[in-house]
A and B are shown apart, each in its own frame.
Chain A
Amino acid sequence: MLLFLGRRVATMVLTALCLTFLVFTLTNLPANLEKLAKSEASARMSDADVESWIERNGYARPLLTRYGEWLGLLPGWTRTEGDVVTGRCVGRGAEGAEIPRRCGILQGDWGTSTVFKAPVAKIIAERLAATGWLMLWVMIVMVPASLVMGVLSGMREGSRLDRGLSVFAIASTATPEYVSGVVLIALLASASTGLSPLLAEWGWIEGKTLFLGTATSALDSGITFWNFGLPVMTIALYGIGYIARMTRASMTEVMTAQYIRTARLKGVSFGNVVMKHALRNALIAPFTVIMLQFPWLLNGVVIVETLFNYKGFGWTLVQAAGNNDIELLLACSVVAVIVVLVTQLVSDIGYVFLNPRIRLA
């Protein structure tokens, strides 16, 4: 087990290093740096000025060196002009203290965002917390709903209920977030179409629309059903179908097993067989699927936060990528990659714990 864990963690670290280096390379292409120079210094710089700006700010050195500095493995560059010292780590330590030698993510220094003019670590922490709430509610809605659906349709394969639920599951996997979000807003949060005008006319709702079309207010004035319902539903809908189908497949497999037949023949009632004998074994596979859904949720979060203008992690990623905010984008990708890798690891380990048939030497 320890060896297995060690190998997995080593692969994970290697993957994370490769990926961050890739992102680092792609965000530090000459074109990006030129754009950065123009946005930071002045938009109407000549090519020579741009070059000297890049040179002066330490971007002209080899890529690997800069990657090492960003990681915090190599000491940051410094240059002394007269008695003014400039450098990567200048102004990053505590006030009045000596300039730290290294400043990278290993030292907890993620750099400064050029768009939001604030430390990257602070922005990421705030935005991740916002997204955490969204994810939490999505999980609360999505996991029970999809498990119940999957178990109900898997316990009697081929029944009407099974076919009905399967069609729903297929339809939900065919509806990406940007489609269901748009349709849900048009149905429930539009002043001119869908249900809201009807309800407003009958006097059942106070405002113009039933749900709010944006989730911006959730951050300022707290989460309510009316501002959070649609984003949560939008993300959950896409995942429900997939998890339900996996649960169904696993449930049908268990229900055809010998021990279930034995239990039935002994006279155990169908309900008891499902609840006590089948369920535990049938829920092993969905656990892995749910864990592996996290990277997908990340996608959904980016789309939904953009669509509903909820200033969370996904929204920040889009802002960083769209505005050439190199350090923020790097931090976002580190977080995203870590989320993906950790969920993979957890799903592997969890699978071993849940399934006693698997033993690792």
Chain B
Amino acid sequence: MDETLTWTGAAGTILNPLLMALVALLVLSLAARLLLALLPGGSEGSIQPDGTLAARRNPSDLAAAATRALLFGLVGVFAAYLVTGLVLPGLPAKGILGAASARFLPVWIALVVTFAVSIVFKRRLGLYGKLFDSPVAMMGFALVMFWVFTAAFAPLIMTHDPLSQVSGMKNVLPGTPVRGVEGTFYLFGGDNLARDVFSRMVAGSTIVIQIAPMATVFAFMVGITLGLPAGYYGGRLDTLLSFLSNLILAFPVILLFYLLVTPEIVASGLPQYIGLVLFLFPLIFLTILINSRLYVKPMLRTVLIGLVTVIGGWLYLSILSSPDTPIDLLPPGPLDPVRMQPNILIVFVSVVFVNAPTVFRIVRGIVLDIKTRDYVAASQTRGEGPWYIMLWEILPNARGPLIVDFCLRIGYTTILLGTLGFFGLGLSPESPDWGSTINAGRRLLSIYAHPAVVPALALMSLVLGLNLLADGLREESLRD
């Protein structure tokens, strides 16, 4: 019988006292900074005889330098926990953190490769390359890519099947050895159905990473396709579309979810009908995009639009139709390649539906601003068509704020997905997505915290990464 793992394993004997000391010093230095900041004075600087300014280091600068050094030290210690986990042999020596870090080996490799390649070629990579000039953006990008790679390598990382239950492992604490199987552990403990919390967290990332970015893309397609003409033409169209978007925005999100995702309404097929409308917009968007650009080359245009219509239309039907629901258009088999589970489709649709009006408002606002610029007037004088101006003159110039909002919105979509899961809407209760797991874990929260805290921290770190990335992008695009 194996022993229960400790959090830090063999490396902890050296690193734990170090960590304690660093934390204590950090608290002291932060307190010192706070006190010094309240004192009057500061680095005003003095004027020297030759006319230059000289600033002297004052105690508050020293305290700040100490804080920074200590923070780096803390990060170093945490990195050491992870690295020793990779190096030391045997799970008891690795400890829980080390063992988890060892499971994430493919992710670490992928992260290192991504960062190495990106930093080497950063000058040739445009806005993406500029990310690697700002530490905040790099940190955010690292967090986001960590979860993206985790989702991609999930089968390699998981230690157990996220749905299978092992008897005797109900609510066990992190690092408990699995009964009957030598050398395997529930790294982050078991939940109240005796499933492995660590594996469920990893499996949950797959669901989030699959749905959130795609849903945001769809919301942007809808918002852009409607927001461009509303802002550009104005008038009745604008009034009508703005009224509709305000209508949706006036609903509290949770009420909207309850109205869209309850079983009765799902059975009536309403979310699917909404999807029928919403999913049409990417097709419309692409068609108009190609048509306005290649208007002067009718041959190429017709071929491309034909391709978009046929392939896109097929995917459209395939995504929407699922057997035994009101919309059952394609027979199963090779004709229906994209198999989306009905409940995931419904969650997807409702998230797009909630996000699209906000994107519409943002796009409309930007268009209202940009359409008064000289280059738009110039292109109007040149005789360019309205859709060409909207899609190829205005939209590229609106990319800065839109990219920033895109990042933020993926984070917000992740939060919305979690909210749906938290209220047990849409996804099946045993699904390993983070929201449902938090919902399942919260009932026993004050006795066994780990089943709810682990997915909660995972969700927070992903959203934090996206927000940091958006913040870095905003600064870099302002510098442009």
Chain A residues with CB under 8 Å of chain B are 11, 15, 18-19, 22-23, 26-27, 29-32, 35, 160-161, 166, 170-171, 173-176, 178-179, 182-183, 185-186, 189-194, 209, 213, 295, 298-299, 302-303, 306-307, 314, 317-318, 321-322, 324, 329, 332-333, 336-337, 340-341, 344
Given known A176-B418, A186-B445, A194-B449, contact A19–B264 (CB-CB < 8 A): no
Q: Are B438 and A179 in contact (CB under 8 A)?
A: yes
Asked if B428 lies at the interface with its beta carbon under 8 angstroms from chain A, I say no
Chain B residues with CB under 8 Å of chain A are 37, 64, 243, 246-247, 250-255, 258-259, 262, 264-265, 267-268, 270, 411, 415, 418-419, 422-423, 435, 438, 441-442, 445-450, 452-453, 456-457, 459-460, 463-464, 466-468, 471
CA distance in complex: A171, B267 (Å): 39
Residues of A within 8 Å of B262, CB to CB, are: 321
Q: Are B255 and A189 in contact (CB under 8 A)?
A: no
Q: Are B265 and A176 in contact (CB under 8 A)?
A: no
CA distance in complex: A199, B24 (Å): 19
Residues of B within 8 Å of A332, CB to CB, are: 255
The 5 closest A-B CB pairs, nearest first, are: A31-B264, A186-B449, A321-B258, A174-B464, A174-B463
Q: Are A307 and B442 in contact (CB under 8 A)?
A: yes
Q: Are B250 and A182 in contact (CB under 8 A)?
A: no
Residues of A within 8 Å of B468, CB to CB, are: 170
Give the total number of A-B pairs whose CB atoms are below 8 A apart: 141
Q: Are A191 and B246 in contact (CB under 8 A)?
A: no
Chain A residue, CB-CB nearest to B416: A176
Secondary structure type dominating chain B contacts: helix
Q: Are A337 and B418 in contact (CB under 8 A)?
A: no
B414 to chain A, nearest CB (A): 9
Residues of A within 8 Å of B255, CB to CB, are: 23, 317, 321, 332-333, 336
Residues of A within 8 Å of B459, CB to CB, are: 176, 179
Residues of B within 8 Å of A175, CB to CB, are: 460, 463-464
CA distance in complex: A317, B415 (Å): 20
B291 to chain A, nearest CB (A): 34
Q: Are A192 and B449 in contact (CB under 8 A)?
A: yes
Chain A residue, CB-CB nearest to B246: A15
CA distance in complex: A238, B303 (Å): 50
Given known A161-B37, A299-B254, contact A318–B445 (CB-CB < 8 A): no
Residues of A within 8 Å of B442, CB to CB, are: 178, 182, 307
Residues of A within 8 Å of B422, CB to CB, are: 178, 303, 306
A15 to chain B, nearest CB (A): 6
Contact of A31 among B267, B445, B452, B471 (CB under 8 A): B267
CA distance in complex: A190, B445 (Å): 7
Residues of B within 8 Å of A170, CB to CB, are: 464, 467-468, 471
CA distance in complex: A306, B247 (Å): 26
B436 to chain A, nearest CB (A): 11
Q: Are B445 and A174 in contact (CB under 8 A)?
A: no
CA distance in complex: A322, B446 (Å): 25
Q: Are A31 and B268 in contact (CB under 8 A)?
A: yes
Q: Are B251 and A337 in contact (CB under 8 A)?
A: yes
CA distance in complex: A23, B258 (Å): 11
Q: Are A185 and B449 in contact (CB under 8 A)?
A: yes
Q: Are A185 and B446 in contact (CB under 8 A)?
A: yes
Q: Are A191 and B446 in contact (CB under 8 A)?
A: yes
Q: Are A299 and B453 in contact (CB under 8 A)?
A: no
Chain A residue, CB-CB nearest to B136: A167
Residues of B within 8 Å of A176, CB to CB, are: 415, 418-419, 459, 463
Chain A residue, CB-CB nearest to B264: A31
Residues of A within 8 Å of B446, CB to CB, are: 185, 189-192, 209, 213
Q: Are B452 and A186 in contact (CB under 8 A)?
A: yes
Chain B residue, CB-CB nearest to A241: B467
Q: Are A324 and B264 in contact (CB under 8 A)?
A: yes
Given known A15-B250, A170-B464, A213-B445, contact A182–B411 (CB-CB < 8 A): no
CA distance in complex: A325, B243 (Å): 29
Beyond the given pairs A182-B449, A185-B445, 18 more chain A to chain B contacts, judged by CB atoms under 8 angstroms and listed by A's residue number, are A26-B259, A26-B270, A174-B466, A175-B463, A176-B419, A176-B463, A178-B418, A182-B442, A182-B452, A186-B449, A192-B446, A295-B252, A317-B254, A321-B255, A321-B262, A340-B251, A341-B250, A344-B250
Residues of B within 8 Å of A317, CB to CB, are: 254-255, 258
B419 to chain A, nearest CB (A): 7
Residues of B within 8 Å of A190, CB to CB, are: 445-447, 449
A313 to chain B, nearest CB (A): 11
Q: Are A182 and B438 in contact (CB under 8 A)?
A: yes
Residues of A within 8 Å of B251, CB to CB, are: 19, 333, 336-337, 340
Q: Are B253 and A299 in contact (CB under 8 A)?
A: yes
Residues of B within 8 Å of A160, CB to CB, are: 64
Residues of B within 8 Å of A29, CB to CB, are: 264-265, 268, 270
Most chain A CB neighbours (cut-off 10 Å) among B250, B448, B450, B471: B250
Q: Are A19 and B438 in contact (CB under 8 A)?
A: no
Most chain A CB neighbours (cut-off 10 Å) among B252, B262, B464: B252
